């Protein structure tokens, strides 16, 4: 039970609490910390021995000493953070004394004078190894690599030693997400984007459903606060009616299950804010049109030999009471998910025409669904952990981590593809079942069988018919891979595979092949230069690179190695060297700032109203920048900057489809951006109009835009069918406020049901 002696501190990161924390005496703070520590001891689902409690107490005492006089931005003593992480690890994930001790000390090595050697000496190698995995990287290994991506890869590397590192890291991230209110908005967005991009999918893969859902909701709260507040508000408005409805529904189900003499409990729940938002986007519906916001979970206490039969018995009873939607049946009892999740999901029509999702599972299945990987260790056979699908997935992760990749970002990109995807089940010619992510291709299947088979793939027979490599596999397909020893992986294969294993193996082969070609090309190039009596000095090599319009020396050698640049091209370069030099000189002169024509053009561009002025990270000088084509920002939009490799800053809207990936993978390249120019007359936006087709609709719309607001219409395309219409209108507006006035007026037109701004300019 939580400490209630200071209820005003129950939300430690609200701004008012900074003052409250500072007003407490040292003794009052000490009592709060000790009460929180006692909550930790009570939180465990396990029974601690005296020796266990001694280890936890020693870890607590060391952490208190390491973090003494250190406070979080909220004003609270820093030690409360590791205690909260330890509570999550204990209560929500179900780990034991070793993990709890490591969670209490997870920031000690990074933030204090204690070393790993100290931890090893006091607590032993096991705890020290876990803390080493949790310690953040203190330096940037490569300026092109996101530090967070490298951190993520380091965490996963520890899977080969101890999977508890990842589970504790998830607990750490969860508490950080719960306590972000005192941070600046741009930092909140960065951390939330990173969480949604990497940590929520990782929690999903480890079967930690509750943690995954909370991470998603908190991420949405900070990446799209208005959307989050709107959905949360509507859920609160519905709470009383929803509770009464679920009680009525559950009461009838409970009566029938009691008659069947089953030992069960029923939990009533509502879909998370994030999952509702996801459905609204995927199904293109409003909040009110999301039809299965209600859900109940039935947990039956059955012995292992009766688990499946009892679950199907409950399924039969419920579908006899309520009409089910056969398209919404999900059987993860017969074929569990890769993270070990087992459950029956059905959607039935309840009273008053409301759809309700019903989840049916055993007590064991529920513990695994709640605590994921950690719960597997509770169920053992002859001292050995049960062979689970998650264990097999972890083996694949270890294989991927052992392979060399170009960068941490590349690894994370490929790895993430398989974290959140649904699964399909396909079969070998011998009838063995293979699990693959939804959307997989024959190449994914081939590499899943064996790397050599993947590398030598020519094509595939699907259900006895020859199919191209671009064929997307479906559940039930029987796949026969056709191979040839002469075949090798090709660059275009990356278009036809999605699994991390296939992509990593192909990229590894391509990198090796590229290195070989470059080495051969360098030898051939130097030999050719010697033949034409031209000394390959750095200056001459640079001239060759410029002559052929290449990026660098490596690309030159690669082109020579592939035969794209041959003897004829080299001789042409030698013959035209002098003329080419003069041509370059003349070109440079034409581009000189002293050229009147260039100066006039530059003055014209600078004074043009389309030249949008924007300030980055408080820098008063205007830096080179461009508006991102993917989201087309206009003055007034909330924006951020992304520093490209060419040192031009790309300006994106904060709600851009690419914002999540950019802010999570390239945090070191993100800069704050702020509009300096209020208006500009030629910002292109595209509006999508939908509604009921009425007479004179196009005339009304164009009259509002052109006559009432004097907005220039670049293009308009409205088409109607079966009484409804959808249209695209491309406009030139001054800024966001100007656009919003136009949109609000268009929404007043009879028949128009929605007006939305489309991302991009096409």
The answer on 188 and 157 residing in a single domain is yes
Longest dimension (CA), the chain: 98
Contact 51, 39 (CB under 8 A): no
The answer on 605 and 573 residing in a single domain is no
CATH number, residue 356: 3.30.460.10
Query: CA-based angle 675:652:630, to the nearest 5?
Result: 135
Domain assignment present for residue 399? The answer is no
Strand partners, 295: 269, 357
Domain assignment present for residue 422? The answer is no
**pLDDT at 202 exceeding the cut of 90:** no
The answer on 627 and 575 residing in a single domain is no
Concatenating the DSSP letter of every residue in 585-622 gives HHHHHHT-TT-HHHHHHHHHHHHSTT---EEETTB-SP
Half-sphere exposure of 353 (CA within 13 A, CB side): 2
Strands 433-437 and 457-462: unpaired
Percent of the chain with pLDDT over 90: 23
Smallest CA-to-CA distance from 420 within 498, 527, 507 is with 498
Q: How many CB atoms lie within 10 A of CB 134?
A: 25
Strands 355-362 and 384-385: unpaired
**pLDDT at 358 exceeding the cut of 90:** yes
Model confidence over 475-518: pLDDT tens digits? 888 999 998 888 889 888 998 998 888 988 898 898 888 899 99
The answer on 16 and 75 residing in a single domain is yes
Element (H, E) at 381: strand 380-381
The answer on 178 and 143 residing in a single domain is yes
Half-sphere exposure of 579 (CA within 13 A, CB side): 5
Domain assignment present for residue 112? The answer is yes
The answer on 57 and 202 residing in a single domain is yes
**pLDDT at 740 exceeding the cut of 70:** yes
- Burial level of 331, CB count in 10 A (0-12/13-18/19+)? middle
81-85, 131-135, 494-498: least confident range: 131-135
Q: Which of 12-16, 232-236, 411-415, 566-570 has the highest mean pLDDT?
A: 232-236
Q: Look up the domain containing 240 and give its range.
A: 227-371
Separation between Cα atoms, residue 53 and residue 41, nearest integer Å: 8
The answer on 193 and 252 residing in a single domain is no
Strands 683-692 and 355-362: unpaired
Q: Give the residue ranges of DSSP H helices in 456-576.
A: 500-531, 538-547, 553-561, 567-575
Strands 625-627 and 649-653: parallel
> What distance lies between CA 698 and its chain's CA centroid?
41
Separation between Cα atoms, residue 368 and residue 338, nearest integer Å: 12
The answer on 263 and 356 residing in a single domain is yes
Smallest CA-to-CA distance from 231 within 269, 276, 192 is with 276
Q: How many CB atoms lie within 10 A of CB 499?
A: 25
- What's the distance, Cα to Cα, between the start and end of the chain in Å? 56
The answer on 268 and 125 residing in a single domain is no
Confidence of residue 575 (pLDDT cuts 50, 70, 90): confident
Mean pLDDT for 726-731 is: 86
What ranges make up the beta strands (E) of 635-749?
Answer: 639-643, 649-653, 670-675, 683-692, 712-721, 724-733
Separation between Cα atoms, residue 134 and residue 157, nearest integer Å: 11
149-153, 329-333, 367-371: least confident range: 149-153
Smallest CA-to-CA distance from 417 within 490, 474, 494, 342 is with 494
Domain assignment present for residue 39? The answer is yes
Identify the pLDDT of residue 601.
44
Identify the pLDDT of residue 408.
60
Model confidence over 401-428: pLDDT tens digits? 666 555 666 666 666 655 656 778 888 8
Confidence of residue 310 (pLDDT cuts 50, 70, 90): very high
Residue where one domain finishes, among candidates 337, 371, 405: 371
The answer on 638 and 568 residing in a single domain is no
The answer on 665 and 733 residing in a single domain is no
The answer on 691 and 671 residing in a single domain is no
What three-state secondary structure class fits 436? strand
Residue where one domain finishes, among candidates 319, 342, 371: 371
DSSP 8-state secondary structure symbol assigned to residue 90: I
Smallest CA-to-CA distance from 524 within 567, 568, 574, 555 is with 567
Separation between Cα atoms, residue 208 and residue 211, nearest integer Å: 6
- Tell me which residue has tokens 């999918």: 201
Contact 479, 462 (CB under 8 A): yes
Q: Which long-range contacts (CB under 8 A, 24 or more apart) does 546-552 make?
A: 546/584, 547/573, 547/576, 547/580, 548/573
Strand partners, 461: 466, 480
Q: How many CB atoms lie within 10 A of CB 385?
A: 12
**pLDDT at 66 exceeding the cut of 60:** yes
**What does the mean pLDDT of the chain come to?**
80
Q: What angle do the packed helices 577-590 and 567-575 form, to 10 degrees?
A: 70
């Amino acid at each position: 039970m939580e400490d209630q002696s200071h209820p005003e501190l129950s939300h430690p990161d609200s701004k008012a609490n900074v003052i409250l924390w500072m007003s407490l005496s040292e003794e009052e703070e000490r009592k709060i910390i000790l009460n929180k520590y006692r909550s930790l001891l009570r939180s465990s689902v396990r029974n601690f021995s005296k020796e266990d409690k001694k280890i936890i107490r020693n870890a607590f005492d060391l952490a208190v000493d390491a973090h003494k006089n250190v406070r979080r931005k909220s004003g609270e003593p820093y030690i409360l953070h590791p205690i909260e992480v330890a509570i999550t690890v204990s209560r929500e994930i179900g780990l034991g004394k070793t993990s709890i001790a490591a969670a209490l000390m997870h920031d000690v090595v990074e933030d204090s004078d204690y070393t790993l050697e100290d931890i090893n000496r006091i607590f032993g190698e096991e705890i020290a190894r876990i803390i080493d995995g949790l310690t953040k990287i203190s330096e940037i290994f490569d300026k092109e690599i996101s530090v967070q991506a490298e951190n993520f890869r380091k965490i996963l590397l520890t899977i080969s030693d101890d999977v508890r590192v990842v589970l504790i890291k998830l607990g750490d991230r969860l508490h950080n997400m719960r306590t972000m209110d005192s941070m600046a908005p741009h930092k909140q967005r960065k951390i939330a984007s990173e969480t949604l991009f990497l940590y929520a999918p990782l929690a999903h893969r480890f079967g930690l459903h509750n943690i995954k859902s909370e991470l998603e909701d908190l991420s949405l709260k900070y990446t799209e606060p208005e959307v989050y507040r709107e959905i949360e508000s509507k859920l609160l408005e519905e709470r009383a009616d929803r509770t009464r409805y679920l009680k009525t529904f559950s009461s009838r189900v409970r009566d029938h299950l009691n008659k069947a003499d089953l030992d069960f409990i029923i939990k009533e729940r509502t879909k998370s804010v994030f999952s509702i938002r996801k459905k609204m986007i995927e199904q293109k519906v409003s909040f009110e049109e999301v039809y299965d916001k209600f859900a109940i979970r039935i947990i039956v206490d059955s012995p292992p030999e009766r688990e499946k039969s009892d679950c199907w018995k409950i399924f039969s009873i419920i579908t006899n009471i309520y009409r089910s939607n056969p398209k919404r049946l999900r059987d993860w009892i017969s074929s569990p998910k890769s993270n070990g999740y087992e459950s029956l999901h059905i959607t039935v029509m309840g009273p008053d025409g409301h759809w309700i999702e019903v989840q049916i599972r055993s007590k064991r299945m529920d513990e695994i669904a709640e605590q994921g990987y950690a719960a597997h260790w509770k169920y053992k056979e002859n001292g050995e952990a049960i062979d689970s699908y998650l264990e097999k997935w972890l083996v694949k992760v270890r294989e991927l981590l052992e392979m060399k990749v170009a960068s941490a970002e590349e690894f994370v990109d490929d790895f993430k593809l398989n974290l959140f995807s649904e699964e399909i089940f396909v079969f070998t010619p011998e009838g063995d079942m293979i699990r693959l992510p939804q959307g997989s291709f024959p190449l994914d299947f081939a590499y899943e069988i064996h790397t050599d088979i993947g590398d030598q793939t020519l094509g595939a027979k699907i259900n006895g018919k020859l199919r191209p490599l671009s064929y997307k596999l479906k559940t039930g397909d029987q796949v026969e891979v056709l191979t040839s020893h002469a075949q090798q992986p090709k660059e275009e294969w990356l278009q036809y595979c999605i699994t991390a294993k296939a992509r990593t193996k192909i990229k590894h082969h391509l990198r090796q092949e590229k290195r070989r070609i470059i080495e051969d090309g360098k030898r051939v190039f130097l030999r050719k230069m010697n033949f034409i009596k031209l000394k390959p000095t750095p200056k001459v090599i640079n001239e060759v690179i410029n002559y052929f319009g290449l990026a660098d020396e490596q690309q030159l050698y690669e082109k020579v190695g592939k035969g794209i640049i041959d003897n004829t091209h080299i001789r042409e370069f030698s013959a035209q060297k002098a003329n080419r030099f003069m041509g370059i000189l003349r070109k440079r002169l034409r581009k000189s700032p002293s050229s009147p024509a260039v100066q006039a053009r530059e003055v014209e561009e600078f004074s043009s109203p389309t030249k949008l002025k924007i300030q980055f990270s408080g820098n008063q000088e205007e830096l080179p920048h461009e508006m991102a084509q993917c989201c087309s920002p206009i003055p007034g939009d909330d924006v951020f900057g992304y520093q490209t490799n060419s040192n031009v800053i790309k300006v994106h809207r904060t709600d851009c489809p690419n914002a999540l990936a950019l802010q999570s993978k390239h945090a070191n390249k993100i800069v704050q951006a702020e509009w300096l120019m209020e208006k500009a007359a030629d910002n292109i936006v595209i509006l999508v109009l939908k509604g009921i087709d009425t007479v004179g609709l196009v005339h009304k719309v164009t009259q509002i835009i052109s006559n009432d607001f004097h907005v220039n219409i670049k293009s308009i395309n409205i088409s109607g069918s079966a009484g409804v219409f959808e249209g695209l209108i491309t406009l030139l507006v001054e800024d966001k406020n100007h656009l919003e006035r136009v949109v609000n007026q268009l929404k007043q037109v009879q028949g128009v049901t929605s007006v939305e701004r489309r991302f991009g300019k096409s």
